[in-house]
Amino acid sequence: MPKSTNPSSSPPTWQGELLLACRKCQKKLKGHDKLRPLEKLKRTVKQLNKTHPGHPLHLVNVPCMDVCPKLGVTVCLPQRSPLRLYILRSEQDLEHLYSGVEAEHPAGKAEKNPASDLSPNARVPRSSAKRMGGK
């Protein structure tokens, strides 16, 4: 009997909203004492889940998202806005995600400029810069 080509599915093993975080960004924060909550983001999220039981987040570390901000962590909330990346620069930015207030921009349609959510000192990958008309 041939195997079915349809993948099987199962419910998620976690509670709450999925938060994807760049593992490389977190590694780059080693040695910055003020940014320790972002370096140890999984631990910070678990602690904040205890203080915000009505809106838990589940963190999954993912490979580099090619945004690479200085002194920040790139994250994505696929349920809220799958086409938008956020840059966390402090524990307060993470608190804003818990309260439903997005760090810099309200939820909506993604803009054509992939660097629209970046702070001024974030680095844009060269391939994106070329498409945007940069050098």
Cα–Cα nearest to 103, from 113, 122, 114, 118: 118
Average pLDDT, the chain: 77
pLDDT band at 1 (very low <50, low <70, confident <90, very high): low
Is residue 72 within 8 Å of 88, Cβ to Cβ?
yes
pLDDT at res. 4: 63
Please check the confidence at residue 107 and state whether its pLDDT lies above 70: no
Interval 2-27 mean pLDDT: 85
Q: Examine the pLDDT at 114 and tell me if it is beyond 80.
A: no
On the question of pLDDT at 126 being above 60, the answer is no
Model confidence at 115: pLDDT above 60: no
Prediction pTM value: 0.67
